[in-house]
Amino acid sequence: MPNYREEIEKRRTFAIISHPDAGKTTLTEKFLLYGGAINLAGSVKGKATARHAVSDWMEIEKERGISVTSSVLQFNYDNCCINILDTPGHQDFSEDTYRTLMAADSAVMVIDGGKGVEAQTRKLFKVCVMRKIPIFTFINKMDRDANDTFDLIDEIEKELGIATCPVNWPIGSGKGFKGVYDRNKKCVILYSDTEKGTKEGQAVEIPVEDTETLVSYIGEEAKEKLLEEIELLDGASAEFDQELVDAGELSPVFFGSALTNFGVEIFLKYFLSMTSSPLPRKSDAGIIDPMEHDFSAFVFKIQANMNKAHRDRIAFMRICSGKFDAGMEVYHVQGGKNMRLSQPQQMMASDRHIVEEAYAGDIIGVFDPGIFSIGDTICMSGEKFTYEGIPTFAPEHFARVRQMDTMKRKQFVKGINQIAQEGAIQIFQEYNTGMEEIIVGVVGVLQFEVLKYRLENEYNVDIKLETLPYEHIRWIENQEIDLDKIVGTSDMKKIKDLKERPLLLFVNSWSVGMVLERNKGLMLTEFGRN
């Protein structure tokens, strides 16, 4: 019987999703603080790295040799070993941001209470829904004027299409923020500005029946409003149901202020009690149990080295079962080879360190001499199964690539294919024409710069990118459909991927609906199969 059950049961692996500036970094810092991982908040990736301009980005990447813009943070709290997967935003937003969600068991969605649901949250949320993972909502910045609480909840439900269950409820916001009401414990936890990075502040809890004390702290008016809202809420909101949470159909909602460190620990405690350790995953050989099965993992991200002298890469893998020991012999299923994973490492804030052992739920990065692809499975030698592949996510920006020197065709094809294999870009071709015309699709525009830079520097090939107006791409699910017979819109373009699968590009999102209407039986999807 494997002896790693206890270690795996402690694991909680989640991603934080948000729109830039909602407070993801601040909240992560506060989590780490509770885990004692850092003395003072502030050592998570610096702002300078998070908000650099494109040119700086290249410099940073070159200097460090590897991107530090996306990392995994591990810390211990309350007998749990927590892995936080960062989902890069800002200019770093790319397909990797989506892929990170494939490695998480649950997601925490941070929403700015003054802004509500924003674009990037919406995009990342869709991927969580596709994966049916539990989604927790943390409504942040309650120390600033926030939107009406009922409106916020309503917006999440309507815009994202998920039921919500507020676990606590804010009392006012901005200057009038008095704390939160814990619906479970039926008590009010008073707001105290324990401030930027210390956890010394002692929480004051007042049972809601103790009206006298409550009024003395929050005033008559706030108390009246709270009682009214609780009544409304109890009558209107969904009840907490762990099964629905597990299925990703009900999102527990929390309120707080990451900056002033209020509501963070309350959230963390509930979150840990409402999430599970790594769950069994599907493979082509059946369900693999994380605790019963020996080591297995899948690659969800490949990070290229920007340094031209070293064309090596780091493959990030999520351990799905068993225990990993450095130096153990494993089997790379897609490569069909036994191998040892070299230089396995884990990220801690912006530091990397070599790991000796890791368990299901953990993420490790290994040195990749160019053999891994996204979605590959690694298991013990003697075994052979593959985990479900990672889908291709819809790019939102497209450009036609023109190669300046036709003599360098070979390098160009090699380079662009290599970069596509790492998952930084997707390559398409004109439908019905030869290979000459290549269309590149990316999730974040920065990837265009990266492509140009890398082709020039690593493959000595100059290219010109001509931006195309398309923003929406759809894979055709029912491939028996005759593409020539599709009745399109004026802004629609037919293309194909490298596996000759047909796709449609659109300038406007409403055209997608129009084409579906005009072609009965046509099935389109935003997630492509690899």
- Closest by CA to 386, choosing from 336, 343, 437, is 336
- Distance (Å, whole) CA 42 – CA 261: 13
Least Å distance between CB 126 and ligand G4P? 19
Cα distances (Å, whole numbers) of residue 411 to 123, 209, 450, 462, 463: 35, 74, 17, 10, 12
| Amino acid making up residue 515 | V
Give the DSSP H or E segment for 267: helix 264-274
Nearest by Cα to 378 from 363, 393, 391:
363
Please report how close the Cβ of residue 384 comes to ligand G4P at its closest, in angstroms: 41
Instruction: Name 90's Cβ contacts closer than 8 Å, sequence gap at least 6.
Output: 20, 50, 51
264 versus 425: smaller Cβ distance to ligand G4P: 264
Of 17 and 492, CB closest to ligand G4P:
17
How far apart are the C-alpha atoms of 22 and 158, rounded to whole Å? 20
Q: Which is nearer to ligand G4P, 113 or 134 (CB)?
A: 113
Q: Which is nearer to ligand G4P, 87 or 237 (CB)?
A: 87
* Residue 263, SS3 per DSSP: coil
And the tokens for 453? 């830079």
In the complex with ligand G4P, the residue whose CB is nearer, 5 or 144, is: 144
Q: Output 141 or 178, the one with its CB closest to ligand G4P.
A: 141
DSSP string, 413-457: HHHHHHHHHTTS-EEEEETTS-SS-EEEEESSTHHHHHHHHHHHH
Q: To the nearest whole angstrom, how small is the minimum distance from the Cβ of residue 29 to ligand G4P?
A: 8
Quick one: 259 or 399, whose CB is closer to ligand G4P? 259
Shortest separation between residue 144's beta carbon and ligand G4P, angstroms = 5
For residue 60, the minimal CB distance to ligand G4P (Å) is: 17
Task: Name the region of 521 (left: φ>0; alpha: ψ -120 to 50; beta: rest).
Answer: left
Least distance to ligand G4P, CB of residue 183, Å: 21
Between 255 and 324, CB nearer to ligand G4P: 255
CB of 121 to ligand G4P, least distance (A): 10
Find where tokens 């036994």 sit. 338
Helices (H) and strands (E) in the chain, counts: 14, 33
In the complex with ligand G4P, the residue whose CB is nearer, 178 or 313, is 178
Residue 107 beta carbon to ligand G4P: minimum distance, rounded to whole angstroms: 14
* Closest distance of CB 259 from ligand G4P, Å: 3
The residues that touch ligand G4P, with contacts defined as CB under 6 A, are 18, 20-26, 47, 89, 140-141, 143-144, 257-259
Min dist. Cβ of residue 510 to ligand G4P (A): 30
Closer residue to ligand G4P in complex, CB, 35/88: 88
Measure the CA–CA gap between 66 and 306, rounded to whole angstroms. 7
In this structure, which long-range contacts are made by residues 183-192, counting pairs with CB atoms below 8 Å and at least 24 apart in sequence? 183/230, 183/233, 188/214, 188/217, 188/218, 188/226, 189/263, 189/266, 190/217, 190/218, 191/143, 191/257, 191/260, 191/262, 192/262
User: How far out from the chain centre does Cα 178 lie?
Assistant: 32
